[in-house]
Amino acid sequence: MKPIILKDNTLNQPLDGFKGSCDSLRKSLDSIAGKTFSQLSESNFIVFPPIAKEADLKNDDVVLNYRVDGENLRFTTGNVMGFFAAGKDNHFQIQSRFDSGNKNYFLHYMLQKVCNVAFTPRTSVGEDSFYDFIYFLFPAYLRKAINQGVYRAYVTREYNDANVRGPIDVARHIRKNVPFNGKIAYHTREYTTDNCVTQLIRHTIEHIRSLSMGDAVLNGSDGKNRDDVSEIVAATPTYSRHDRMSVIAKNLRPVTHPYYTAYEPLRKLCLAILRHQKLSYGESNSDSINGILFDGAALWEEYLNVIMRDSEIGEKLVHPNNRTGFRRQHLFELDDGTKNRCIYPDFLMDVDSKQGKIFTAEKVLDAKYRRLDGGLDRDASFQILSYLLRFSSKKGYLLYPSGETSVKEKSYTLIQPKDSSAIVIKAIPFHVPEYNETISFQKFSEEMQTEEGDFVKKLC
């Protein structure tokens, strides 16, 4: 089924090529329209990056809104990209505004960088593309879960040997050990890494390994993906491929452990992969996958982090992370010495810090996925000005993607008293290469790498 395609960060998009009933579509969309990224993450949507509840992060980006225009519908989208179903017959795809036709090169490329996988995407849109993106996410979800440790749980094991460590199973003992052979049948409870959750992950790994793209997904260039896979393999010595259906059945309930919070989104992803679930919405199956959504702002920020971290400015860069609480800073200090108003500037360069507190920074860099070709908006300018004031910085950079090669960086000098040194904010565009149906993904990747080098030079 060919999906209805929309672009992100676009106002009043018409519903082109739709031949069904708009009234029926409106009823289906009411369950999705106006919902935020964080609200849908709590339902049967797979979201990237997964939202960590302990980070107290607000994701207020609305996936889409629509309005009635006569007999038609017009859609407004934000930073969210992805696939989702509206009713049984209508599938939507929100593409990056830099992607073209039926290809998702820009989204694929950013995910490859952030998730540390590399394979050539399919050229068609639809559910095949949906499954490609699910495979992309597996290493990132696994990494986040492994960072909390390999999942442990109590499991009942049955044994038949001479080392009795639990209650004797009389019926099983009579059945197996009469006449007496020196063994005792018993069972015991063990706190182990070899449990239904890790077995589910292991079955997912073995399924991906059997695919043509398996090596690209499971073997990252930095070795972290291989290490994560090795930990799960070592933790599941009782794995058997014949147990797949029973393992799936044991994992239909959510993971509610208060410490292993990252394993619940991973469980949902594994089930979607192993069951090869189709997109559905509003059906009776509570385990159905309603869609897969990408937070464009977070993905853009992490993509910039990867390319800058691996460049000549990487050693000068500090990247606070509001999803993990890493390098949390504060804007105010109260009379009693307590800190107030947490802030997470995206990137700081050449910092003066002590014991985790950053006092000053020569440059403040803020990643913006929004459209800034026309100039700074109110929120972007006020936010970076607060960061510049907090870190005694005179240079602020807004880093945003642009599809217009003619757009140049713009400088904004803050109006101040004459004796004050100038505070300058620069809006620096990252020129996303334009492509059409004849351009291969490899060619697009080469052009992106060239632009990455030119972009980093502007930040030095």
pLDDT, tens digit (0-9, with 9 covering 90-100), for 211-246: 888 888 888 766 788 999 999 999 999 999 999 999
**Residue 185: enclosing H or E segment and its boundaries?**
strand 184-192
Please say whether the beta carbons of 92 and 125 come within 8 A.
Answer: no
Could you give the CA distance from residue 348 to residue 373 in angstroms, rounded to a whole number? 23
Q: Is 313 helix (H, G, I), strand (E, B) or coil?
A: coil
Element of type H or E holding 450: helix 441-459
Q: Say if residues 426 and 409 touch (Cβ distance below 8 Å).
A: yes
Tokens found for residue 60: 């207020």
Within 10 Å of residue 21's Cβ, how many Cβ atoms?
A: 11
What pLDDT sits at residue 326?
A: 72
pLDDT above 80 for 460: yes
Q: Is the pLDDT of residue 51 over 50?
A: yes
Phi-psi domain of 341 (left: phi exceeds 0; alpha: psi -120 through 50; beta: other): left
pLDDT at 325: 63
* Average of per-residue pLDDT values in the chain: 84
**What local confidence, expressed as pLDDT, does residue 281 receive?**
46
User: Is 50 exceeded by the pLDDT of residue 384?
Assistant: yes
Q: Judge contact between 225 and 143, C-beta under 8 A.
A: yes
> Is the dihedral angle over the CA atoms 123, 125, 128, 133 positive or is it negative?
positive
Among 378, 377, 296, 383, residue whose Cα is nearest residue 341: 383
- Confidence class of residue 279 from pLDDT cuts 50, 70 and 90? low
DSSP 3-state of 430:
strand
Reported residue count of the chain is 460
Q: How far, CA to CA in Å, does 123 sit from each of 2, 100, 141, 294, 442?
A: 13, 11, 25, 19, 12
Measure Cα distances from 441 to 107, 129, 134, 211, 437 in Å: 11, 14, 19, 20, 10
Q: Which of 22-26, 197-201, 342-346 has the largest mean confidence?
A: 197-201
CA 429, 106, 6 angle in degrees (round to 5)?
Answer: 100
Q: Is the backbone of residue 182 left (phi > 0), alpha (psi -120 to 50) or beta?
A: left
| Token representation of residue 107 | 């989204």
Cα-Cα-Cα-Cα dihedral sign, residues 95, 96, 101, 104: negative
Q: What are phi and psi of 30, to 5 degrees?
A: -60, -25
SS3 label, residue 366: strand
Q: Would you say 148 and 228 are in contact if contact means Cβ atoms under 8 Å apart? A: no
Residue 146: which of 262, 287, 240 has the closest Cα? 262
Tokens of 176: 């197996």
Q: How many other CB atoms sit within 10 Å of the CB of residue 187?
A: 15
- Specify the DSSP element, H or E, that contains 184: strand 184-192
Distance (Å) of CA 255 to CA 25, 238, 433: 34, 21, 42
Q: Give the C-alpha separation, 319 to 177, whole Å.
A: 63
Secondary structure (3-state) at 267: helix
Instruction: State how far the Cα of 283 lies from the Cα of 301, in Å rounded to an integer.
Output: 35
Q: pTM here? A: 0.84
429 token code pair: 């565009």
Query: How do residues 387-427 score in pLDDT, each as one tens digit?
Result: 999 999 999 999 999 998 888 999 999 888 776 778 999 99
CA torsion sign, 200 to 202 to 206 to 212?
positive
Q: Tell which wins on pLDDT, 184 or 133.
A: 184
What is the model's pLDDT at position 54? 40
| Bridge-based pairing state of the strands 45-48 and 291-295 | parallel
- Give the pLDDT confidence score for residue 282 in this predicted structure: 43
Q: Which two tokens stand for residue 142?
A: 């696994």
Distances (CA, A) of 440 to 82, 121, 434: 22, 10, 12
The span from the CA of 261 to the CA of 265, in Å, is 8
Distance of alpha carbon 333 from alpha carbon 347, whole angstroms: 22
